[in-house]
Structures are given as structure tokens and as C-alpha cells.
Structure 1
Amino acid sequence: MASRPVASGLSEALVAQGPVGPRDAARLLDVPGEGLHDRVVRDLPGLLRRGDLLVFNDTRVIPARLIGTRPEGGKVEALLIRDLGDGRWLAFARPAKRMKPGHKLAFEGLSANIADKRADGSVVLEFDRSGRAFIAALEQTGAVPLPPYIRGGTADVRDRTDYQTLFARRDGSVAAPTAGLHFTPALMAAMADAGIATAGVTLHVGAGTFQPVRVDDTDHHTMHAEWGEVPQATADAIAGARRVVAIGTTSLRLLESVARTGPMRAWSGETDIFITPGFEFRAVDLLLTNFHLPRSTLFMLVAAFAGHERMKAA
């Protein structure tokens, strides 16, 4: 597929720089079979049906941006991408040219050795601690890695809570599953009253979610793998649901990854699924998602799900 058809202009003035309050007062564009309708997120219970199932991503954003120093005293910035286990993390670090295997990086309260450097410029950092001790130190040292279109990627203290969903419980993401940010306890109670069920999955969102498609042919675009899990209880709920409503592209990508190889089931592992127009959806009936940047993999996914012309109209 050519990437140019999904490129278009976007005014920076249209990009929100913070959450609306309350969260479920955010504007919602309803795109049914025909037409477009302006609503707000708290209208959702009236747009769905009894027996529908909402599937949320329960990942939690970690403060994955670290500022530190190199042995010779120069500044270094690292963005953690993925937990490799035992205190080892895949990361992007800059200045990239100065990142050499064997070098030691010092951060406030943490230190790491560069264990490896990969062809794509990423590095494997081996920290001086792991598990809960590492996360505790990261909470004190790191910053929330906002996408570049929000205040230039510069986080403040409010983002520690503003950039987490109501469902966040499993540490591991460097970006929020943003569709879930619009839900409140009051909205969830209204969903339950309307007979709409909920279930959770986990997909730890990686830095690749920020990356635009830079090639003209999407067949040449490389997706970074992300770790995910579908619990058995969620697989069972999907099997008994009237319709499956994915809350966000991360939930959709994980469910469709599993469905590619058979019926929905308990699953865990890595996925690098790249959904473009022409994809056959097998798991998800409806999608709640935010607006996405032109020429992004997420816009391509939404165009595949709802149709490119409908998305251009929206």
C-alpha cells in the first residue's frame, strides 16, 4: 500500500495539550453506517447495546524518559522501549553516535551499562536493579514520555496522573492507550446499568507508536514488537459477547493478532501486527479511538477498519 493517500495537513491548534474535565465530557464523533454525529463520550451507553463487551487495555505508563550523564561528562537522554527481563531494557538513547557497548550511564538513583547496540540505533541497557526495585527508582527519576505533539514531549507533574487510564494496573508502557483516558467511574457505572460488560487485556505500548511511516510503500515499514496478554476470562467473555467493542487501537491490535490464527483464546507473547486497508477483521465489531496523525500506522488501522473515505470525511 502507498502511504501518501493517508497523508494530509493538520493544524497544531487542533491538537489538545491536556485533558478535558471531567474526562467523559470529551467530544465524540459517532460514525455509524451513514452520516457523522457530534456527541460526547458520556453518551456511549446510549449508542451501544445490552450484551456488548468493552475491551480495555490495562497497561500502565512508566516514567520511561531518563536524563543522565556519560562517563566523560556529557548529557545523555534515554527512552526505555521494552523490558527484556532481569534489569535489561531496550532503549533509544542520544546522542546515538556516542552510545557504545561497555559504556556506563549514570542517572539520578540509577546506573546502567550499555550491553549492546543494534542496527536500528537502539541499545540494550543493563541496569543496576530489576523488578519492583527498578520501577520504584524509575518513579523517582524518570519522566512521563509524552508524544511530541503534546507540549513538545515535555511532561509536568500533572502528567503522572493525567496520562494514566482508569484501568492502568500493569507497568510497562511508554505511551498511554489514549482511548481509555476518557472513561470515569460514573461512565463505567452507566455502562453496567445499561447491561454493557467490560474485560481487560494488556498490551505494553512501545515507542514505535510515535513513529510516522517514512517510506512510500507500507510493505517496507517495520513495526516494533510489543508484548501483550489476553487472559482466559477475557477470551471467554468475548466468546459470549453480543458485539466486541475495542477501546483503542492497542486493544484491537492485540485481539486481531490472536484471531489471525484461530478462535479467541488465552494468549501471551509479542505482536508486530501492522493493519492497513484490506485487512480482514475477525475479532472486533466496533472501535472507540482518538483522532490520529496523518501518515501514521494508527490512521492506517482506522482507515482499514472504517474505510478511508469515511475517515477523510470525519
Structure 2
Amino acid sequence: MNSLLHGRWPLPAAWRSPTVRPSPMPAQAPSDTGIQVRDLRVERQGRTLVDRAHLDVAPGTVHALVGPNGAGKSTLLSVLAGETRQNHGQVTWSGRPLDDWCPNALARCRGVLPQEAVVTFPLTAWEVAEMGRLPHRTPEQDTPIVHECLERAGVLHLSGRDYRSLSGGERQRVQMARVMAQVYETGPQRPGVLLLDEPTSALDVRHQLRLMELLRTDAARGRAILVVLHDLNLAAAFADCMTILEGGRVADSGAPRDVLVPATIRRVWGVDCVVETDTHTQCPWVRLRYGTPKPQCELEASP
């Protein structure tokens, strides 16, 4: 069963190599079958967390949402997940306002990975991943689907472990298997969406690359993927489109090569940098300038 399941959707050989970065797909035009956010505003306790935000996430693309701490990224994602109500504006998915969707129907095509998923019960990693199948009520199909998703996330060997005993990175990968199992049946004819809030925050470099490769594979299956990231280079290497939030507003949005420019990065993050082009992938590469130059007198006094 292992080889049969894994062979259905094989990972491209180039992506399996840790030394090769996949080139992002060309950015696509906004589609009425994806996610559309129009003039969104969210206010809480007299503070505006998101202000007049516009966003389009087309099926078949990875869209990275970036910005400094407190920029409104998680709030925007929470609105799209249906956990937070906006004060103004509209969110549509697949051409229909989010409020018009039946919650059960939405749960069958939309997976949400929050920053932290707390599990207090003694559940195994398998049982946590299997939660993604609850909206479907297809017990005869769930076992092979959960098996495949745990394998794709690289945590099948942890299936029998108590979820609470896992490391932070292992938990993130199990949660990734859960959302993949939730949207398993979606594809070009039945669009799906993944909303991921900092899914790489607890992962080492190898597993960060593997998770982003999984997102590229899922996007190729016709899903719309919106992912919050802090690593600009990771976003540039794997995203088709990037949106920068600054103080709750969209500072810029477009292809990574158009959005990641030194002037914008200095203004939004307050850091000095150089943006180069990776000679292998042709993706933009942000090189931060750390520290400050030594005064000339110290340089002359050095042996």
C-alpha cells in the first residue's frame, strides 16, 4: 500500500533534492473561483487591525502573506477562516460570499492551520491527522487517505505516538497532514483552499523546504494556498504572489521579483538589505546587512 499510495502523486525528482530549489510558477490573474478580499476592515477595542485590504488568491497558486509583527497577517487569515468577523468589506470564496457558505460544505474544501493548535487529550498523531476527515464522513476511505497524508508530511513513523509528546516541529507536520487530509478530494474540478499561519516557524531548514515543496505540489493540484511567512527568501522561492502588510494595510502585492525591493523592505521592516537574483532559480534573494560598520579609527588600530 505504501508504494501504491505514494505513487499516485509522486513528488518531482528535482524537488526531492535538498540542493535544488523549485522555481515558482508564473503569477496568475485574479480568478472568481479563488479567494477575493475586498475593502476589508477589522476593528477591535478601538484599534484598526486590518484597514481597506484587497487580496486575490487564485486556484493553483501559492500566495505568501508577509509583514512585520502586528501588521495584521493573522487577523486577516482569521477572517478568511471564519473565526473573526470583519467590520467592513467582503470575502468571497469560489464566487460566493463567505457568509453564504454552509459550514459543513466549507469544511470539506478548506483547511486551516493556526499558529498553535492545542491538544490536551491523549490523542495519537494518527488520531490528530484523522480529525481532518471528520467533515467528510467517509470511514471506508479515511485510513488510506490519512496514511498518505502522514507519509507526505514525513511523520508516518510517529503515527502511534502521543501527540503531546512530540516536538514543536513534529506537531506542525502532523497538523499539516491533518489539513491535507481535510482537502484531499479537492482539485481542478472541486477547488480547495489551505490557510496556513506560519507553518514553518518550528521547523528546521530541511523540513521548511519539504513543507514548502508540499504546498507547491498541492497548488499544482488546483488548490488556492495562502500562507503567512516571516522568511522572505522562503516566500520568494516558492510563492507565485506575495502581499506585504504594513500596519494593517496592503503595502504592495504582486510577483516576488516586483514586491521584494530594498526601498519597500527598508520602509516596512526598518532594515537595510540588498536584493539579488539567485543564479540557479532566478528568484529574488534578500541579503540583510547585519550590524554596523566599525569606525575607521578601529579598523586602522586593528593588527
TM bracket, shorter-chain basis? under 0.3
TM-score normalised by structure 2 residue count: 0.26
Could you say which structure has the higher helix fraction? Answer: 2
